[in-house]
Chains A and B, each alone.
Chain A
Amino acid sequence: AQTVTQSQPEMSVQEAETVTLSCTYDTSESDYYLFWYKQPPSRQMILVIRQEAYKQQNATENRFSVNFQKAAKSFSLKISDSQLGDAAMYFCALGGATNKLIFGTGTLLAVQP
């Protein structure tokens, strides 16, 4: 069975600082994808970043980057220069041949001014 675990229910960061959100996963597939989604209070699900499992290079999107450790089945999200607009629930998700996304339980990120 595929699982995604986010062990940090809540995190807090000062504006302009860096924060890392943790995610571990389990899958028996060799070809899979990992995602981070952001859900602000508006409840819209916004794709932040994606990583293909076959790529060794860590994905980066502006201030967002991941640390993908395939052997450890770890996929953490680093947010640099945090902004007030980054405050949201962040979900880690696993996708693959099963044609569905498996989501973690989410991490609620607060950004302090």
Chain B
Amino acid sequence: DTAVSQTPKYLVTQMGNDKSIKCEQNLGHDTMYWYKQDSKKFLKIMFSYNNKELIINETVPNRFSPKSPDKAHLNLHINSLELGDSAVYFCASSKRQGATEAFFGQGTRLTVV
């Protein structure tokens, strides 16, 4: 049983397209996150949701829109993709707010061509 699962694992798309990444956790956690890992392996928070409510939006362009239909799911939709959006996107979850340990999905490698 995968605790935090993301789909797809790989995504190659052209500039200007719109794409979505889905995430689901079966850990019963209240808090979910999206992190971005750039080409230098640097990891940075993008969004945090607690019980479907947006808690953190870390100055991410509004082309990125997270959606949490329930506390087990957090999806990321990206409009008008740009070359600079190429990165690995990680979904993660934690038991509650306050950044106890986060459990990560396997990541989605997004390549914009």
A contact set with B: CB distance below 8 Å = 33, 35, 37, 39, 42-47, 50, 89, 91, 95-101, 103, 105-106
Contacts and interface: CB of A to CB of B under 8 A. Distances in A.
B104 A100 contact: no
Contact of A97 (B43, B50, B98, B104): B98
A99 B107 contact: no
B101 A100 contact: no
Contacts of B109: 43
Which 3 A-B residue pairings sit nearest by Cβ, starting from the closest? A95-B99, A45-B104, A100-B45
B12 interface: no
B42 A98 contact: no
A43 B88 contact: yes
B99 A44 contact: no
From B31, B43, B98, name the one whose CB has the most chain A CB atoms within 10 angstroms.
B43
B18 to A, nearest CB: 24
A101 B99 contact: yes
Given A89-B41, A91-B43, A99 B104 contact: no
Contact of A33 (B35, B43, B101): B101
Interface of B: 31, 33, 35, 40-45, 48, 50, 55-56, 58, 88, 90, 92, 97-104, 106-107, 109
Contact of A101 (B55, B102, B107): B102
Contacts, number: 62
B42 A103 contact: yes
A46 B56 CA distance: 23
Query: How would you classify the secondary structure of chain B's contact residues: helix, strand, loop or mixed?
Result: strand
A99 B99 contact: yes
Contacts of B45: 100-101
A94 to B, nearest CB: 8
A9 to B, nearest CB: 10
15 contacts: A33-B101, A35-B101, A37-B104, A39-B41, A44-B104, A44-B107, A46-B104, A95-B101, A99-B50, A99-B56, A99-B98, A99-B99, A100-B48, A101-B43, A101-B99
A105 B41 CA distance: 7
Contact of B55 (A33, A46, A95, A99): A99
